[in-house]
Chain A
């Protein structure tokens, strides 16, 4: 829930609660005041009846009857009553004063004076309405003003959040947060700015460290290679020993390939490949298909290349080749016997579609490092992460999709 919604909701629910109590109180206060007024009128009427014996008043009806009961003289009561109108089904509301006059010990006269409250009911209703509507409008305006002002104050905060979300430690751009006249946000941004600087420095150091380590590993690997080669050339080895040494050579080879791939990724991150030129992807694809011809033949794959337009991009030439090569090799490796690879090129998009097994990949994780298919233990699982990095730094969007046992990689320029 957004802060602005949360505070808004709190404000509204508190408002409704107090407003409800206030309105209820207001209603009863008016009711009380109006009743008091009628009571006074009825008492006035009583005086007139008693002093002048005048039973026909303009604003009240008086009725007199005799009851058999014992009662003290000064007893009276005010009540509300409802009476049906003569001739129709409507009801009217009345205020009623009842008092008694004792005739003898067992009889008394009961005087009932009633007064219609219809006109004042309308007033009470109007007052209540006023008590309801005006505060609602008032609170609404207050709420909107408050909301706009909060939103304005929070603009810096949202700006910070958006910039943090777009923050990529790999990218060159600085965070550059807005300044604010609100102390809390200003402090927050200061903290983030400092943090960004520290993260970048740490990250650079880490990359440098990785690169140096990788380079430092090359020489020991060369030594291991040389020694293993020396070993395997010996004349008196048993079959088991030769196989063990060959296994070690193979493992060392994989180790050094992984290492080289990591060095390559580190270089991508360091933007070693900054020089860009106009690259024709039609040409790159053609060349790479030529390079991989043997592999394709060996795998028995059918290749279909459809290029409807010339696809050009401004990027590093060797990266373009690495990109296409990795994608093609991926399409060859994860193919099936008698499979196919369909490549479609138009002026905005390059699509490589290959037949393959239906596998459940998480497309998100597909481009991660060392994500590999258990069926291809010799693959390093680093090729696609190189693809992703190249696309990232060359402003190409790459997507993956699996459709009816076909794997589709799409490059959108």
Chain B
């Protein structure tokens, strides 16, 4: 994927770029609205967009992309988290809205989900060894046998696979599961019990035990031993 990062904070831009590069994407970073508008042409698959730019509002980028009929997906990364801001951004045609500060794993999961939506219209399947997931149909198969998962468990599995081979902290998982602003409900115990159930169901269906506990602080989805 070719990704344009529009972010005026170099430290953050650099981290995001490093992360996305390690995921195999090629990234360009710009720090101003003007350079973002100049850089924009049809060649980017995704734009990660900060709204508060030194020379203007990032929404201009959304207008240009969606007005020009480009097939570019846009994820807004903003410190402003009010509903109005979100609605405005999404109404203009942005595909997702992530409030700062965000977890890299969350950005990664959203990014992959966006890629599926934009490029495969949700029909893409995710494969991991004997696992096959069809996100558009909420379907999980192990060796072609469907596994019955709850929506949360399904969501959790997609999140894990999107971030495979990465350490996912309980904090990040809890935040992903709650999504909702100011939700502190997801205690470590609850996360643990959800993951335990998911693991049990997968193993029972004949799937390898890929969800590894990392010293009690988080989990890692990996087939490495």
Contact = CB atoms under 8 A, between A and B. Distances in A.
Interface stretch (A34-42, A189-197, A229-237): A229-237
Contact of B19 (A226, A318, A333): A226
A333 B84 CA distance: 30
Contacts of A294: 152, 185, 190
Most buried by B among A222, A256, A322, A333: A222
Interface in B187-224: 187, 189-190, 193, 214-218
A318 B83 contact: yes
A329 B181 CA distance: 13
Contacts of A378: 184, 187
A223 B185 contact: no
A225 B214 CA distance: 19
18 contacts: A218-B100, A222-B9, A222-B101, A223-B12, A226-B16, A227-B15, A230-B104, A242-B167, A243-B216, A243-B217, A246-B170, A246-B171, A247-B217, A256-B101, A257-B182, A260-B181, A260-B182, A380-B184
Query: Looking at B77, B184, B189, which has the most chain A CB atoms within 10 Å of its CB?
Result: B184
Interface string A293-316: 011001000000000000000000
A379 B183 CA distance: 10
Contacts of A239: 215
Given A225-B102, A243-B217, A219 B185 contact: no
Contacts, number: 116
The 4 residue pairs across chains A and B that have the minimum distance between CB atoms? A246-B217, A226-B15, A218-B79, A222-B101
Contacts of B152: 294
Contacts of B79: 215-216, 218-219, 222
B172 interface: yes
Interface of B: 9, 11-12, 15-16, 18-19, 77, 79-84, 99-105, 152, 166-167, 169-172, 175, 180-187, 189-190, 193, 214-218
Contact of B166 (A233, A263, A329): A233
Contact of A242 (B12, B184, B214): B214
B190 to A, nearest CB: 5
Main secondary structure of the interface of A (DSSP, over half): helix
- From A230, A318, A322, name the one whose CB has the most chain B CB atoms within 10 angstroms: A230
A83 interface: no
Given A223-B12, A246-B218, A253-B171, A230 B19 contact: yes
A288 to B, nearest CB: 11
A221 B181 CA distance: 16
Interface string A239-256: 100110011011011001
A29 interface: no
Interface-central residue, A250, A252, A267, A333, by most chain B CB under 10 Å:
A250
Contact of A229 (B99, B100, B104, B180): B104
B103 A246 contact: no
Nearest to B217: A246
- A218, A226, A256 pick with most chain B CB within 10 angstroms: A226
A230 B101 contact: no
Nearest to A332: B185
B9 A223 contact: yes
Most buried by B among A219, A256, A264, A272: A219
Contacts of B105: 229
Nearest to B194: A294
A267 B82 contact: yes
Given A233-B166, A243-B217, A225 B185 contact: no
A295 B152 CA distance: 13
Given A221-B100, A229-B172, A378-B184, 13 more contacts: A219-B100, A222-B101, A223-B12, A224-B101, A225-B102, A226-B15, A229-B19, A229-B105, A252-B101, A257-B184, A260-B99, A264-B182, A298-B189
A292 interface: yes
Contacts of A256: 101
Nearest to A267: B82
A250 B175 CA distance: 11
B103 A225 contact: yes
A169 interface: no
B25 to A, nearest CB: 15
Contacts of B216: 243
A218 B51 CA distance: 13
Contacts of B12: 219, 222-223, 226
Contacts of B171: 246, 249-250, 253
A261 interface: yes
Contacts of B186: 295
Contacts of B184: 257, 329, 333, 378-380, 383
A318 B100 CA distance: 21
A54 B111 CA distance: 142
A219 B81 CA distance: 12
Nearest to B189: A298
Given A222-B100, A230-B19, A253-B175, A272 B189 contact: no
Nearest to B150: A294
Contacts of A216: 79
Contacts of B19: 226, 229-230
A250 B101 contact: no
Contacts of A257: 182, 184
Interface string A367-378: 000000000001
A253 B172 CA distance: 9
Residue with the highest number of chain B CB atoms closer than 10 Å, among A221, A246, A378, A380: A246
A344 B186 CA distance: 26
A267 B83 CA distance: 11
A4 B140 CA distance: 83
A379 B182 CA distance: 11
Contact of B9 (A219, A232, A380): A219
